[in-house]
Amino acid sequence: MTLLHVDSSILGPYSVSRQLSAEIVAKLRQNTPDIEVHYRDLADEPVPPLSGAYLAAQQPGAPPPSADVQQDIALGGELLNEFLGADIVVIGAPMYNFTISSQLKAWIDRLLIAGKTFRYSENGAEGLVGGKRVIIASSRGGIYSEGAPAAIFEHHEKYLRSVFGFIGVTDIEIVRAEGVAVGPEQRAAAVKTAQDEIAKLANAA
């Protein structure tokens, strides 16, 4: 059993999503101590944004890429294989400017690869990634749950559900702390709500 733990908050020790993602991993480890955990910190070691040279190198008949582009292609392969090889993926996902962090987006850009994680067929797009459990530790300053006045600005969890659903992941769970910027009491209550959700997570099986 392999678990990939990804963090993407730029707030270091002040990050709520980092705290929650770590607690999720600890909870899953409790009952499955021999679970193999791979950790990737996208703020400490950012994934470079997709470049024109990277994409050009994938075109049929393209000339051999430069050493830099070769390195970038190798990194993309490593990130993809690490994701595909994990039975469980735990993602710390802060909301920045109504959506995910650019660090997380750069990582996701390396996962959506036609022919590897999805394909287009006569029936439209088809996800190729199955049998994976994705758990998202979601943290946001305001309140965006259904019915909230700001719900229309919610492009964060909805985006993550769309993108992982698109590549065929059907088992997506969200542990959420929201309203953490409203004040210290709301922050503590939001973290407590999320921790209660973590306690209820099914064991790694």
Ligand X SMILES: Cc1cc2nc3c(=O)[nH]c(=O)nc-3n(C[C@H](O)[C@H](O)[C@H](O)COP(=O)(O)O)c2cc1C
Give me 22's structure tokens.
Answer: 């770590």
Query: Which amino acid appears at position 98 of this protein?
Result: F
Q: Distances in Å between the alpha carbon of 180 and those of 36, 85, 94, 102, 154?
A: 32, 33, 11, 20, 15
204 contributes a contact to ligand X by CB under 6 A: no
Nearer Cβ to ligand X (108/129): 108
16 contributes a contact to ligand X by CB under 6 A: yes
167 contributes a contact to ligand X by CB under 6 A: no
24 contributes a contact to ligand X by CB under 6 A: no
Cβ 45 to ligand X shortest distance, Å: 17
- Number of amino acids touching ligand X (CB under 6 A): 17
Taking CB under 6 A as the criterion, which residues in 66-85 touch ligand X? none
Of 99, 93, 111, the C-alpha closest to 47 is 111
* Contact criterion met (CB below 8 Å) for 42 and 104: yes
Which of 34-42, 94-102, 127-135, 163-171 is the region at the interface with ligand X (rule: CB under 6 A)?
94-102
- Which position among 22, 35, 106, 181 is part of the footprint of ligand X (CB under 6 A)? 181
Q: Do the bridges between strand 124-127 and strand 118-121 make them parallel or antiparallel, or are there none, so unpaired?
A: antiparallel
Phi, psi of 76, rounded to the nearest 5 degrees: -55, -45
- What residue ranges in the chain does DSSP mark as E strands? 2-7, 36-41, 88-94, 118-121, 124-127, 133-140, 171-178
Nearer Cβ to ligand X (133/140): 140
194 contributes a contact to ligand X by CB under 6 A: no
Which of 32-40, 43-51, 115-123, 134-142 is the region at the interface with ligand X (rule: CB under 6 A)?
134-142
Nearer Cβ to ligand X (129/136): 136
Binding site for ligand X (CB under 6 A): 9, 11, 15-18, 94-98, 139-142, 180-181
